[in-house]
Structure 1
Amino acid sequence: MSPWLRRAGTGLATALALSLAATPALADSYPSKPIRLIVPFPASGATDLLARAIAQKVSTSIGQQIVVDNRPGAGGAIGSDMAAKAPADGYTLLIATTSTHAIGPHITPRLPYNTETDFTPVSQVATATNLLLVPNSLPVKNVTELIDYAKKHPGQLNYASSGPGTVVHLTAEAFKAQAGVFITHIPYKGTALAIPDLMSGKVHVLFDSIVSGLPHVKDGKLKGLAVTSLKRSPLVPDIPTVSESGLPGFESDTWFGIYGPKGLPAEIVNRLNAEFNKAIQAPEVKDRLARLGAEPVGGTPAQFAAMVKKDSARWGKLIKERKIVVD
């Protein structure tokens, strides 16, 4: 063999070896700097509290800080859009919810992104029931009394939401439809911003996530009339479900999950999936989630995507039937 061919063969072999080594090297070297986790809702709300509880554990495990970045507004669309347009390098993630990825596509016709094609699913992390909250000043003690009061005072009650098109908004609309009552919608940029007005009686009803709503009930600042899951929450077994309180079959839960931008390399997806699954099963994180009213879920990216698709179809049906549109 000529020296030229020998050198060429050696060069090809070296290039092939480097190519084969590139994929595991990417996973091994990631992450090499802090990761931004976008929370598309305000600080101190359900999504924010849960994100911080999990991010702290993942940060310790991967040796890099996960920086929680609150970007509220437009029912979660502002923060979600930022994540969708970020580089697909694993250094910008999004904690999404039922509101952003199961409801948003059906209720907001001009979203600047496609929830199915502009994101890479990483893992579902938790689920939580919602809690029907009213101010202490409202003279009702249960769901039946709330419905009766609304019927006797048409147009006088209003409800807060974390923004048009959120699960908080749609849960209230589902409640109105099944109960046959009219309650005016007052949207906020997040439920944390609505809580003071609820306490003061400026707004009268809020279907908040139990994650952020329960502490105010425990402190005696608000009344929790019911939970929206089909079964009572073990965290508050004395609070009945909406279903058993006069609206049979009523159900609404909130899921939380991690996404990256589209095109996120599989090696990074798998690394992140493993880290988040491990974090939510850690005893201290499970305890923190339980105190927040959430349950860890986990699973594969494919399982997460399938769950979102099914949930999206359910909410899409309600939105179509109620003719709900957000401009």
Structure 2
Amino acid sequence: MKFISLFFLKNVITFVLLCFSFSVVAQKDSLETVIAEKGEGIYALLRKKGVNPYETFDAFVALNIDNIRDSIHVYEGRTYKIPNVEAKVALEETKKAIPNVLPKTGKGYAIFGKKYRKVPIKSSKLKNAVFYLVAGHGGPDPGAMATYAGKPIAEDEYAYDITLRLARELISHGALVYIIIRDNNDGIRDKRILKIDHDEVAYQNKVIPLNQVARLKQRVDIVNELYTKHKGQYQRLIVTHVDSRSKGQNIDVFFYHHEKSKSGKNLAENIHKTFQKKYKKYQPNRTYSGTFEHRTELYMVRKTWPAMTFIEIGNIRNKKDQKRILEPDNRQALAKWISEGAILDFQKR
């Protein structure tokens, strides 16, 4: 009798789970769809289905992100799902839960450190532009490692210092900036040897996972959630890394973008052009060999919604590249050049 009861209970549970699964699938499949015709955009598709485009734009993007170019352009002839009321409400609740970043006090931006917390306003060239900045690795993962003057140096510390300097430059021209990976006690450091620590956190003080895929997914999720908050605005993502190759391989700064992202390509190209001009001016006897190209196999390039560029600053194990990476004035120059390329991209949009 006891055996029969357990057997019966097991089958009931299985039946309930199957019903639930069918319900979820049915609900997903019950969404209305529309085929994009030549010349139509997201707003036109939503209007065609009698849906308020301004209220459901973000939910539409979230539902169809794998079928949209640059997170704003639909493809002619493809089928798209139309969000229902529940999807819109859930998205709005998510947006409300995300506060602004880099709170400014009367003393300036604390994240830049005491020396650099006050940011002078240079212009309004980037007014209404939104940037998401991600320094590579961090937390339990220091990234590429090397030694300099007998001391260990780590990729994440230098990528982060350049990212902070870049954030400060962008803010000085009126941009709204989100620093996704952050160390709340480092600040901008004017030293060659940056002390290695592991207390970096992700935006909103989230612990950075040890697992690589989980770590990258966390960053992607944060950026994509923030992306939905700023619909209709110019939004760009800049990811900064330091490469690790053989000691004898000297490399220039490289820029990567998504293969199908025209806006991402433009961003990478505009920053690349800025670097070419700077090298021609400051190092006229040296050929700049850095390139911009698509590398969609990179997780951050493939999964994030904003148009983006993935930057490799140099080879941390090469002596010539170490000069570019370790010298604080050079890190500042790199940040300034990247910001000038971003300004160029914003002005040409």
TM-score by length of 2: 0.24
Query: 1 or 2 for the larger relative contact order (CA 8 Å, sep ≥6)?
Result: 1
TM-score by length of 1: 0.26
